[in-house]
Amino acid sequence: AQRVTQPEKLLSVFKGAPVELKCNYSYSGSPELFWYVQYSRQRLQLLLRHISRESIKGFTADLNKGETSFHLKKPFAQEEDSAMYYCAYSGGGADGLTFGKGTHLIIQP
């Protein structure tokens, strides 16, 4: 079955420390991968997509097909990064997104 795994339910780091939120997927084709973020009391919003290879709010994510991973990284965490982060993929076409369970990131002052 197609699956997205985010092993950490909760990740707490201090402000200024590096952050890595892990995401692994199981899919045999060429998936499209995304990171969505949900700040407190706000809607799910796109943070990154692998196809654009961009850095948003200091976050980057590299698709590693060999390890089937799409980990989200930021070198220096900020307090405003505290939120729920969801890794998701699409198998193609008009497929719905398959989400991981999410990681609650808490940045301590």
Partner 1 sequence: EPEVTQTPSHQVTQMGQEVILRCVPISNHLYFYWYRQILGQKVEFLVSFYNNEISEKSEIFDDQFSVERPDGSNFTLKIRSTKLEDSAMYFCASSESPTGGGQPQHFGDGTRLSIL
Q: How far apart are CA 83 and CA 104, in angstroms?
A: 6
For partner 1 (CB under 8 A), the number of binding residues is 26
- Helix, strand, or coil (residue 54): coil
Contact pattern from residue 47 through residue 86 relative to partner 1, giving x for each residue in contact according to CB under 8 A and a dash for the rest: --xxxx---------------------------------x
Radius of gyration of the chain (CA): 13
Stretch of 13-21, 61-69, 74-82, 91-99 lying at the interface with partner 1 (CB under 8 A): 91-99
- Asked if residues 104 and 11 have their Cβ atoms less than 8 Å apart, the reply is yes
**Which residues contribute to the site for partner 1 (CB under 8 A)?**
32, 34, 36, 43-46, 49-52, 86, 88, 90-102
